[in-house]
């Protein structure tokens, strides 16, 4: 069960992906066909359930596109279920301290490193490949803290010391809000904190990830050193594409709530 995204991190490659919040697995299938390095299926916000997540996982099977699941919260069952159905890794929201980062790693790793329970679900092909999966899972699965608060930024040095931590992801919407600037990614101090976290992660050999709101920002984030960059979300790209075509036709943009 080699994890293609983890191997790219180790090779210091820059990886590009898509954030997915819609239920159709065709979105992930298209992303894989296009050759994106990863997709993240979001179960923290929105309406997706595990039956829909597993369809996204199946849609990427046989490709080199890794499927990461953002779980709803730091809770052992949440991480276990996502990994048991075959996710290459999990993004864990609201990690603010080294203790929380350690808990996340433990929840996502089998003993002796962690406390993940052994199940017979899709990841082990319903028990047919249990031994093979158990032998490799602790090394290959990614448990990724979401750094999205002032507290997390202040504790980043300690968080980055967590054993077996290989990647982090920055959430600038909530981070900016925690500094008193909701949604203002370019507000005073936010770009500096973003760059500081990125450079500290790179210095530890940990891959920092982030969302880019447009192609120019994706280029800028890559130049900053971010090793995995989200090119946008399924809903956002759809909206932007339709708006662009409406504008080209001179149609008024008058959305209705």
Q: Which residues are catalytic?
A: 45
- Burial (CB < 10 A; 0-12, 13-18, 19+), residue 77, is exposed
Estimate the share of the chain in helix, then strand, then coil, as percent rounded to the nearest 5: 45, 15, 40
Task: With H, G, I as helix, E, B as strand and everything else as coil, classify residue 229.
Answer: strand
- 3-state class (DSSP) for residue 250: coil
**Inter-residue long-range contacts of 151-159, CB under 8 Å, 24+ positions, other chains counted:** 151/96, 151/97, 151/178, 152/95, 152/96, 152/97, 153/193, 153/196, 153/197, 155/96, 155/97, 155/98, 156/196, 156/197, 156/200, 156/201, 157/200, 158/97, 158/98, 159/95, 159/97, 159/98, 159/101
CA 17, CA 20: separation in Å to the nearest integer? 10
């Amino acid at each position: 069960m080699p994890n293609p995204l983890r191997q790219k991190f180790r090779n210091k490659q820059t990886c590009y992906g898509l954030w997915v919040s819609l239920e159709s697995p065709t979105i992930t299938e298209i992303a894989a066909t296009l050759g994106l390095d990863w997709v993240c299926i979001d179960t923290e916000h929105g309406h997706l359930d595990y039956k829909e997540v597993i369809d996204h996982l199946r849609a990427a099977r046989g490709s080199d596109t890794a499927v990461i699941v953002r779980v709803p919260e730091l809770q052992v069952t949440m991480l276990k279920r996502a990994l048991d159905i075959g996710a290459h890794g999990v993004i864990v929201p609201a990690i603010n301290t080294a203790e929380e980062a350690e808990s996340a790693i433990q929840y996502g790793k089998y003993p002796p490193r962690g406390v993940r329970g052994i199940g017979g679900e899709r990841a082990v092909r319903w028990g047919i490949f249990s031994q093979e999966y158990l032998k490799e899972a602790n090394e290959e699965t990614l448990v990724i803290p979401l750094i999205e608060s002032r507290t997390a930024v202040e504790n980043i040095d300690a968080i980055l010391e967590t054993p077996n931590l290989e990647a982090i992801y920055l959430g600038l919407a909530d981070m900016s809000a925690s500094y008193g600037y909701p949604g203002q990614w370019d507000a005073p101090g936010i770009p500096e904190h973003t760059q500081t976290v990125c450079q500290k992660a790179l210095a530890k050999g940990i891959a920092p990830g982030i969302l880019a709101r447009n192609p120019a920002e994706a280029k800028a984030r890559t130049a900053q050193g971010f090793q995995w960059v989200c090119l946008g979300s399924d809903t956002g790209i759809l909206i932007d594409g339709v708006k662009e075509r409406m504008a080209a036709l001179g149609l008024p943009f008058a959305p209705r709530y």
